[in-house]
């Protein structure tokens, strides 16, 4: 494996070379949510195959039958019950699509294979100290690390980062989000979006309630936290957890003194911003109007991610979601999750 003295991969790898991929885990996000003939990609395997410059050469799962079925379904030449059985394939890229509490273990094992890049499902781990060690190890070994916080690959959302930074919407006053099915598993998506858009820092908070609708180590909590934005704005972040056994609710809202931004995941996902204007009938009262709404192409997230990964490996493009950004999200999640109970 060629590593520059800077620890970074060369900016130009031969673009006519097909990059070999091994996928660890054969569940939904690995391959199960997709059909081979579908027009879009909702999974790692389909996104790699659809791109055309990747060859998925192996897949493994602790359930050997599941691995074999996935290999047959997607025409993957090698299936195994343990990743070590696929080490001889010497993949350029490894996808980790295993349960959340195993991510740290597999991230460590992947370093030993010296791939060019590892693409890990979120969260990067559940223990910040261990996650920090892994991020540093990846940098030290010159292995790129991408983490699937999918909204960082949705340009409809990320275009707002520059507009917020430029002050187009004014001062940030508050933020809130609604989610379901595990704080680290699903709420971390919202924390990551907020951190990408306004760079949050936790100052204090209280835990209002919690329920078990996912795993014992990952409760769905409701909380209120004081946060500091990257611009030094002191805001309240409201976290609303809902029972994933009853509903799949996901919303993120940012309220500024000039506008409001709302991200909604419904059957079709939308991002909306509205401008604060004075009510024409009742002078002195202000409301959000002049609504602009745009659909978010969620089915393109993994397609965009794999394209970004390819360009990172062949042209030196920056990854849009990295181990470092995922580590900052994890630290924020842990601080909120460990807030004292009211």
pLDDT in tens, 51-80: 999 999 999 999 999 999 999 999 999 999
Residue 10 has pLDDT above 50, yes or no: no
Q: What is the pLDDT of residue 277?
A: 93
Residues 128 and 159 in one domain: no
Residues 132 and 58 in one domain: yes
Q: What is the pLDDT of residue 13?
A: 52
Region 192-198 average pLDDT: 97
- Long-range pairs for 131-135: beta carbons < 8 A, 24 or more residues apart: 131/104, 131/326, 131/327, 131/330, 132/327, 134/104, 134/107, 134/108, 134/323, 135/323, 135/324, 135/327
Cβ 185 vs Cβ 100: under 8 Å? yes
Residue 327 has pLDDT above 60, yes or no: yes
Examine residue 165 and state whether it is found in any structural domain, yes or no. yes
Residues 133 and 47 in one domain: yes
To the nearest 10°, report the CA torsion of 146, 149, 152, 157. Answer: 180
Number of domains in the chain: 2
Cβ 38 vs Cβ 5: under 8 Å? no
Residues 141 and 214 in one domain: no
Beta bridge partners of 132: none
Examine residue 262 and state whether it is found in any structural domain, yes or no. yes
Q: What is the pLDDT of residue 256?
A: 98
Examine residue 329 and state whether it is found in any structural domain, yes or no. no
Region 114-140 average pLDDT: 97
Residues 159 and 283 in one domain: yes
Q: What is the pLDDT of residue 342?
A: 85
Region 188-209 average pLDDT: 97
Residue 289 CA to residue 105 CA, distance in Å, equals 49
Residue 267 has pLDDT above 80, yes or no: no
Residue 2 has pLDDT above 50, yes or no: no
Examine residue 328 and state whether it is found in any structural domain, yes or no. no
| Closest by Cα among 72, 86, 76, 33 to 54 | 76
Region 254-280 average pLDDT: 94
Residues 99 and 173 in one domain: no
Q: What rounded mean pLDDT belongs to the chain? A: 93
User: Got the DSSP string for 96-141?
Assistant: E-S-GGGHHHHHHHHHTT--SEEEEESPS-S-HHHHHHHHHHHHHH
Examine residue 338 and state whether it is found in any structural domain, yes or no. no
Examine residue 334 and state whether it is found in any structural domain, yes or no. no
Examine residue 195 and state whether it is found in any structural domain, yes or no. yes
Q: What backbone phi and psi angles, to 5 degrees, belong to 156?
A: -60, -30
Region 124-140 average pLDDT: 96
Residue 9 has pLDDT above 70, yes or no: no
Examine residue 12 and state whether it is found in any structural domain, yes or no. no
Region 277-293 average pLDDT: 92
Using DSSP, how many helices (H) and how many strands (E) does the chain show?
8, 14
Residues 120 and 43 in one domain: yes
Residues 216 and 105 in one domain: no
Residues 170 and 121 in one domain: no
Q: What is the pLDDT of residue 54?
A: 98
Residue 260 CA to residue 277 CA, distance in Å, equals 11
Region 108-130 average pLDDT: 96
> Residue 269: which domain range?
155-296
Residues 255 and 234 in one domain: yes
DSSP tag of 81: S
- CATH of residue 246: 3.30.360.10
- Looking at the chain, the whole-number percentage of residues with pLDDT higher than 70 is 95
0.85 exceeded by pTM = yes
Q: What's the pLDDT band for 16 if we cut at 50, 70, 90?
A: low
Residue 221 has pLDDT above 60, yes or no: yes
Q: What is the pLDDT of residue 280?
A: 87
Residue 118 has pLDDT above 90, yes or no: yes
Residues 223 and 127 in one domain: no
- CATH of residue 27: 3.40.50.720
Residues 67 and 128 in one domain: yes
- Looking at the chain, the whole-number percentage of residues with pLDDT higher than 90 is 91
């Amino acid at each position: 494996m060629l590593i520059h003295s800077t620890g970074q991969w060369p900016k130009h790898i031969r673009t006519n070379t097909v990059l070999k991929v091994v996928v660890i885990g054969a569940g939904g996000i690995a391959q199960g949510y997709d059909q081979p003939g579908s027009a879009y990609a909702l999974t790692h395997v389909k996104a790699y195959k659809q791109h055309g410059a990747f060859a998925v050469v192996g897949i493994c799962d602790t359930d050997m039958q599941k691995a074999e079925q996935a290999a047959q379904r997607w025409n993957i030449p090698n299936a195994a019950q343990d990743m070590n059985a696929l080490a001889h394939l010497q993949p350029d890229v490894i996808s980790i699509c295993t349960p959340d509490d195993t991510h740290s273990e597999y991230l460590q094992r992947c370093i030993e294979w010296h791939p060019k890049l590892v693409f890990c499902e979120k969260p990067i781990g559940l223990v910040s100290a261990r996650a920090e060690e892994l991020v540093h190890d990846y940098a030290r070994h010159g292995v790129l690390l991408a983490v699937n916080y999918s909204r960082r690959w949705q340009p409809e959302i990320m275009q707002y980062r520059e507009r917020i930074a430029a002050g187009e919407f004014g001062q940030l006053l508050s933020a809130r989000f609604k989610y379901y099915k595990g704080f680290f598993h699903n709420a971390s998506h919202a924390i990551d979006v907020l951190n990408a858009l306004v760079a949050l820092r936790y100052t204090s908070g209280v835990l209002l309630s919690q329920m078990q609708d996912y795993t014992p180590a990952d409760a769905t909590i409701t909380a209120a936290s004081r946060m500091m934005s990257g611009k030094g704005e002191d805001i309240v972040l409201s976290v609303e957890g809902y029972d994933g056994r009853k509903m799949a609710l996901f919303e993120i809202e940012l309220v500024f003194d000039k506008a409001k931004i709302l991200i909604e995941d419904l059957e079709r996902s939308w991002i909306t911003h509205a401008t604060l204007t004075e009510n024409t009938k009742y002078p002195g009262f202000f409301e959000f109007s002049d609504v602009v709404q745009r659909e978010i192409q969620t089915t393109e997230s993994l397609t965009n991610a794999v394209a970004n990964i390819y360009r990172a490996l062949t042209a030196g493009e920056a990854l849009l979601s990295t181990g470092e950004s995922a580590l900052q999200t994890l630290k924020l999640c842990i601080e909120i999750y460990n807030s004292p109970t009211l």
